[in-house]
Amino acid sequence: MSSPRGFVLTGCCLLALLSAGCINVSGSGSVGWPVYRDEKRFSIEGKPDLVLSTFDGSIQIRSWDRPDILVVVEKRAPNESAAGAIHVQSGQDGNRVTVQVKSEGSRAIGWWLGGGGSASLVVSVPQSANVQASSGDGAINLDHVNGTIVLRSGDGRIHAANSSGDVTVVTGDGAIDLDRVDGAIEATTGDGGITAAGKLSRVRARSGDGRIAIQAEEGSSAAADWEITSGDGSVTLQLPDGFNAQLDAHTGDGGIRLEGIEVASSGTLGKNSVSGRVGSGGRAVRVRTGDGAITLKRFSR
C-alpha cells in the first residue's frame, strides 16, 4: 500500500503539471482527437512541380483528371488551441507549388503529455507531375503519378504503385513497396524490407536490416549499373528473358541459388559468390547481403 507521503508527492507533481497548462496527461495519443481540416487548391498549366512536407503525419498522393492540385491538411490535435499551433505554409510560383506543415510545440514534450498533434496530407494531382514529399514521422502512399518522384519519411512505410519515371524513396525505419513502378528506382531503408516490381532500367536498393525482392519484368534492362544490398536479409532478384548484364553476387553467410538463370563465368562460381556474364553482358548488376541467401531466377508471369 502506498504511504500517505507518497500520495501527497504524486499530487504535487500533478498540480505542477496542471499549473503549467499541460492538462492532457492521457497516454492514448491522438485516438479520439478531433480533426481540423485546411484545404489548399492551385490552378496549374502544364506539368507541376509539387513539394510537400509535414512534421508528423501520413501523406497520400493520388492522380485525378483535373489540371489542378488539391491539398487537404488534416490536423489532429486535442483542442482548437493545439491545432492553431500547427501552421500550413503554401506558395505557388508558376507550376511550382509548395505546401509545408510545421508545429510550434516541442514534439518530444507534446508526445509525453499526450499533446502536440499531427498533420496528415491528402493530395490530388494531375497524373503527370514531379513530386517531392517528406514526413518527419508517417507513412507515404503514392498512386498513378508519373514523373520525377522523391518520397522521404523519418519513420514510416512507403508505398508507390502504378507509376513511372525516376522514383527515389527513403525511410529511416519502415518497409518499402514499389508495385508496378517503371523506370529507374532508388530505395533505401534503415530497418525494413524492400519489394519492387516493374519494367526497370536501373535499380539501387539498400536495406540495413531486411529482405529485398526485385522483380524485373519483361522489357527491363540494365541501362545503368544496378546495386542491391542488404546488411542482414535474403535477396531475390528475378530477371526476364533477354536481360544482359555483368553479374557480381556475394553473401557473407548464406548460399546462392540460380533458378533458370545462366551465368557464363569467367570469375567466381561458388556457394557464396557468383560472377560472370548474363546474356551478352553489359552494365554491372551487384548483389550483396551480409547474412542471408541470394536467389537469382528467371521472371515468369
Query: Cα–Cα distance between 72 and 77 in angstroms, integer?
Result: 16
pTM of the full predicted structure? Answer: 0.86
Grid cell locating 213: 525482392
Mean pLDDT of the chain: 88
pLDDT at 9 over 80: no
pLDDT tens, position by position, 255-297: 999 999 999 976 667 789 999 999 999 999 999 999 999 999 9
Q: Is 92 exposed, middle or buried (0-12, 13-18, 19+ CB in 10 A)?
A: middle
pLDDT tens, position by position, 55-109: 999 999 999 999 999 999 999 999 999 999 999 999 999 999 999 999 986 444 4
Element (H, E) at 109: helix 107-112
Query: Cα–Cα distance between 118 and 128 in angstroms, integer?
Result: 29
Least trusted range by pLDDT, from 7-21, 158-172, 205-219, 241-255: 7-21
pLDDT at 19 over 50: no
Query: Cα–Cα distance between 12 and 210 in angstroms, integer?
Result: 47
What confidence category does residue 32 fall into, taking pLDDT thresholds of 50, 70 and 90?
A: confident
Q: What pLDDT is stored for residue 126 in this prediction? A: 98
Q: What pLDDT is stored for residue 201 in this prediction? A: 98
- Give me the mean pLDDT over the 155-175 stretch: 97
Q: Each residue of 183-209: b (16+ CB within 10 Å) or e?
A: bbbbbbbbbbbbbbbbbbbbbbbbbbb
51 close to 99: Cβ distance less than 8 angstroms: yes
Strand partners, 207: 189, 230
